[in-house]
Amino acid sequence: MKPEETERLFIESLFKSSGLQSGDLTVEKLTGDASTRRYFRLIDSSKSYVACLDNPIGKDDRYDFEEMQLVLKKSGVRVPDIFYLNREKGFILEEDLGNLTLLEALGQTRNKKEKLELYYPVLDELLKIHAISPSDHQNTCFTKLRFDTAKLLDETRVTNANFIIKLLKTNADDTSINIIDQAFTGICKFLDTEPMVVTHRDFHSRNVMLVDARPVIIDFQDARLGLPQYDLVSLLEDCYFFVNKEVKTELINYYLEKSKLKMDNFEKYYDYMAIQRLYKAIGSFSLIYNTRGDSRYLKFIGRAFETVLAKLSRYEQLTDLKVTLAKIYYAS
């Protein structure tokens, strides 16, 4: 069956299941994110919706998107409303948030003041997420998952396999692979030594929509426990948008003041998290290209890699990792 036919049947089946009428309906295919989900805007004479075709799951299985949407909404976080959801078919009909992402809005700013005015409300939403008490939500999806040493290290190994070995053509048996892995083992162990909060996991400028000048948070289904720096790094060391040092410092200070976070070596945890998080993002972009042939994200690798090297340069104990990565990267 052709993709167009599959999509038409999906729309018809969705409307039939949800009880809505599909008579005078305009369907627009939307550009998806880095996942395999497919999105459509459905417009009739009075209202518009966004339809998502996700992976079906079993009737009795937990659906993390639905669960996190409820938790976040109850915690005062602005998230899209869900009008209809069918886990077994992978159908979601949700609020249409329009097209304006934080990324696009940031690109139109003229000065520091305008950037900060966009970022402060977004940080306010992030503070609400980090304030959620895991003990109040036992047995939910995010309390069973953690950015522990094993998870963080698994992510770096995806980058080793898909970027260092496959894209940069490094021999899998090269001693550099072991040097990289050993160094990241130490980084990931360090990042697993502080109390954790509820993290969004992918809190960057393309996952924040602006509706009536207010931020709405999307793509939250992969939430898990982790350091608060994980989300801060995602936002402020954004692969998609450069945040200069002055703006970054003000935003970090704003977060620290509002959160009253008590953590020794906050900056070191931030830098180590940036190294791991950006290295992981490079692996994700490479994996998407290697498995789907989708090259859209390759253009974001360069600056992310340079940021990793810059962060590594700040710590003498990470010199071997920096030199090894630089040698592989610049020789390719």
Which structure tokens are listed for 177? 């692979």
DSSP for 7-25 reads HHHHHHHHHHHHT---TT-
Q: Domain limits of the chain? A: 3-95, 102-331
Q: Which CATH class is domain 3-95?
A: alpha beta
User: Do 42 and 25 meet the contact criterion of CB atoms below 8 Å apart?
Assistant: yes
| Closest C-alpha among 141, 156, 153 to residue 287 | 156
160 vs 225: CA distance, rounded Å: 24
| Closest C-alpha among 273, 278, 283, 275 to residue 160 | 283
User: Do 7 and 40 meet the contact criterion of CB atoms below 8 Å apart?
Assistant: yes
CATH number, span 102-331: 3.90.1200.10
Per DSSP, helices labelled H in 173-265 are: 175-190, 228-236, 245-259
The DSSP bridge partners found for residue 43 are: 26, 48
Per-residue confidence (pLDDT) for residue 87, from 0 to 100:
84
pTM: 0.92
pLDDT in tens for each of the 332 residues of the chain?
A: 455 566 666 666 776 666 666 566 778 888 766 667 788 898 877 788 998 888 887 766 677 999 999 999 999 999 999 998 888 888 889 999 999 999 999 999 999 999 999 999 999 999 999 999 999 998 899 999 999 999 999 999 999 999 999 999 999 999 999 999 999 999 999 999 999 999 999 999 999 999 999 999 999 999 999 999 999 999 999 999 999 999 999 999 999 999 988 888 999 999 999 999 999 999 999 999 999 999 999 999 999 999 999 999 999 999 999 999 999 999 98
Which residue is listed with tokens 């809505």?
20
Phi, psi of 290 (to 5 degrees): -65, -35
234 vs 273: CA distance, rounded Å: 9
Q: Do domains 3-95 and 102-331 have the same CATH topology?
A: no
